[in-house]
Amino acid sequence: MKNIGHLLMLLCMIVCIGCSKSDNSEGTPMDDPDGGDPNPTALSYQNNIRPIIQSNCIACHGNPPTNNAPMSLTTLSQVQSAVETRGLLSRINSTTNPMPPDGLMPMSARQLIADWVDQGFPE
């Protein structure tokens, strides 16, 4: 009986040690010393921003621009320039003079554009 008690205690210790040891169950890469993806929501112009621009801006900001639009937004460099020199982020978030002129695009789209800018305009 004493041996069974010791065996059960040893088995409990093994289970506790096995459960407390890191098994990477959170999906964190073992070779990543920071403990996670440095940019879990990496965005790109091609995959995330271009579709937003095409569905909300190209009607006026095409090539060539129409409806008195001052510039084209058909390329990455044109969109980046509009952010850096023409206040694109302010205009898409403006409640008094929004772009597009028929009303603000969804907040999720505006946030994606802002996040993309914060990430340094990745292609």
In order along its 123 residues, the chain shows pLDDT tens digits of 666 655 555 554 565 455 544 444 444 344 444 444 455 579 999 999 999 999 999 999 999 999 999 999 999 999 999 999 999 999 999 999 999 999 999 999 999 999 999 999 999
pLDDT of residue 31: 46
| Tokens, residue 40 | 């879990």
> How much of the chain is in helix, strand and coil states, percent to nearest 5?
50, 0, 50
pLDDT of residue 85: 97
- In contact, 43 and 86? CB cutoff 8 Å: no
- Listed by start position, the domains of the chain span 45-118
